Amino acid sequence: MPIEIKAHRIVRDGKAVDFHQTQNVGGPIVPRVIVLHDTAGDLSGRGSIAWLRGGKGASQNSSAHVVIGRDGTITQLASMNVKTWHAGISKWRGKEMLNGWSIGIEIANPGGPLQDLGGGRFKGGVPIDNKHDPSLVVRRGKFPARTEDGKAMQPNDGLWLEHSPQQIDAVVDLCRALVAAYPTITEIVTHWMIAPGRKVDTNPLFPLAEVRARVFVNKAPAVARFADLDGDPLLQPPEDDDYADQVARHGLDGQPAEAPRRRFEDDGWESGDEVDQAPGGISRFESYKPLGDDDGNAGDIAHRFDLPEPSEPQRLPKALVEFVQQRLRALGYYEVGNIDGDFAGRTEDALVTFKRHNGLPATTDVDEATLKALANGDPREVGDARASATPKDLRKSVPVVQQAGRSKLLAWLLGLPSAVFAVLQGIASNVSSVMSQLAPITGWLSAVPGWVWALLIVGIAAGIWWSSRQAEAETVDAYRSGRLT
């Protein structure tokens, strides 16, 4: 089933999937990794959805972006560009706390190891009876001794429930959509890989290698056209996703299936993300760099080759521009303007300012160093003069403050005479000589006492003054904090 990510929401077959907003969320993130989990709950995933939504009687400190049921149903709990609390204390390739830079996908599975009760019945997070439901396949599995980045894994040899084919297909389709929507995502891992001392999900039967191969098989082949790869058949470009799935599951020419992306990593390189087509049909990639430059992910570089220079500037994917805009705003660079995916103009200016403040080349390039700085940077510092600015300081340079000052003056000019009139009329109500002079005015106000009208005007003037004062105060505060330039 085709899946897309639109405005950070999951769209499947042209319709948005069910969305149940979790209360347990943080600020905006730039996702770099997808983390797969088992729910350790019921097979439909409904109980896990209710728990992860938070609130009274539910979890107060855990959440995820997505829950996938046994039948492949996808339920979204949070926008893909905000932090959820799924990883806990975690570390991957030298970088810690993955909540701040990953997307969490929960797959309905009872966890384990399961206890064999006999007669096809097993006990785990929920009871399993494969005698009545043969699709529930339980078999023995064992975790590797170490994770890919070298951390020791606790021994857990036991019985586990296989994930359903519908779940695997849903995970693959969703991960493909996420990788396409968020060019910063480069890896898919499991919870036990980032927290091996305390987690055993996804269980060891989960076909992670297959999932990775099916998701990333479209990535590396296009890069192969730029290098001498000795005619490696695995690196020939696939025609479509079905072909990619066949390669991942069965291999080519009888050889074991292997993710082309992993083949490149074995050579010391990491592929970036395809963004458009160069003349002649050759795909360009946004980034291509040695693994040794990544956080804690050092590796020997077997060979290098240079990519051809593009003949025209590359257009950044809209999702990447939106990430840049969100992070700039979160760090205090409010001159970036709206989060609209448009990189030209204000966004470029704000990015140049940010990079200058953070010791990076003052260019509009969105490279690896820029993304790391945006993801981990400190909020913008505000100067003392700006922080202590007064309305008087801003009236000559900020039109909103000028208008607020004029509105306040108008309120005084309107309210003060009306207040004086109300007082005079109250005093003069018992003085017949004065009242006779006021007769032309009070005649048409005879139905309502004049002081009522006067006080009404005073109230209107007071409202104008208060509104202008609030606008002025908010504008000054925005200037002091750096939100207004």
DSSP 301-361: -----PPPPPSSPPPPPHHHHHHHHHHHHHTT-GGG---SS--TTHHHHHHHHHHHHTTS-
Q: Give the model's pLDDT for residue 21.
A: 93
Tokens read off for 48: 């896990």
> Where are the domains positioned within the chain?
3-206, 225-302, 318-381, 386-481
Question: Is the confidence at residue 191, as pLDDT, over 60?
Answer: yes
pLDDT above 90 (res 319): no
What separation in angstroms does the CA of 443 have from each of 203, 427, 440, 449? 89, 18, 5, 10
Q: What does the CA dihedral 87, 90, 96, 100 come to, rounded to 10 degrees?
A: 0
Q: Looking at per-residue confidence, does 103 or 315 come out higher?
A: 103
The number of residues in the chain equals 485
Structure tokens given for 420? 């004086």
b/e burial code for range 278-299 (CB count within 10 A of at least 16 → b): eeeeebbbbbbebbeebeebeb
The residue-averaged pLDDT of 184-206 equals 93
Superfamily of domain 3-206: Peptidoglycan recognition protein-like (3.40.80.10)
- CATH code 1.10.101 for 318-381: yes
**Position 442 pLDDT exceeds 90:** no
Is residue 221 over pLDDT 50? no
Q: Which of 160-169, 234-243, 389-398 has the highest mean pLDDT?
A: 160-169
Closest by Cα among 196, 153, 42, 15 to 106: 42
Q: Is this prediction's pTM over 0.85?
A: no
Nearest C-alpha neighbor of 99 from the set 125, 67, 55, 65 = 65
Mean pLDDT lowest among 70-84, 115-129, 368-382, 441-455: 441-455
- Cβ neighbours for 483, distance < 8 A, ≥ 6 positions apart: 332, 334
Question: What is the average pLDDT across 353-365?
Answer: 86
Better pLDDT: 185 or 341: 185
Q: What are phi and psi of 458, to 5 degrees?
A: -60, -40
Is the per-residue pLDDT at 228 higher than 50?
A: no
Q: Is the pLDDT of residue 236 over 80?
A: no
Confidence (pLDDT) at 249: 47
Note whether 404 and 443 are within 8 A (CB): no
Tell me the per-residue pLDDT of 242-281, one tens digit each, with 9 for 90 and over.
Answer: 544 444 444 433 344 333 333 333 333 333 333 333 333 3
Q: Give the position of tokens 């192969």.
A: 224
Going by C-alpha positions, the residue among 295, 77, 313 that lies closest to residue 186 is 295
Rg from Cα positions in the chain? 32
pLDDT band at 202 (very low <50, low <70, confident <90, very high): very high
Q: Are 225 and 288 in contact (CB under 8 A)?
A: no
